[in-house]
Amino acid sequence: MTARVGVVTFPGSLDDGDAARAVRIAGAEPVRLWHGDAELHGVDAVVLPGGFSYGDYLRCGAIARFAPVMDRIVDAARGGLPVLGICNGFQILCEAHLLPGALTRNQHLHFRNRDQILRVESVGTAWTNAFQAGQEILIPVKNGEGCYVADTATLDELEGEGRVVARYVGGNPNGSQRDIAAITNPAGNVVGIMPHPEHAVEALTGPSLDGLGFFTSVLKHLVGAPA
Catalytic residues: 87, 196, 198
CA distances from 89 to 67, 127, 141, 152 (A): 13, 14, 14, 24
CA distances from 98 to 65, 200, 210 (A): 10, 26, 26
CA distances from 184 to 56, 195, 203 (A): 23, 15, 28
Phi, psi dihedral angles at 157 (to 5 degrees) = -65, -45
DSSP state of 163: -
Percent helix, strand and coil across the chain, each rounded to 5?
30, 25, 45
Phi, psi dihedral angles at 38 (to 5 degrees) = -80, 10
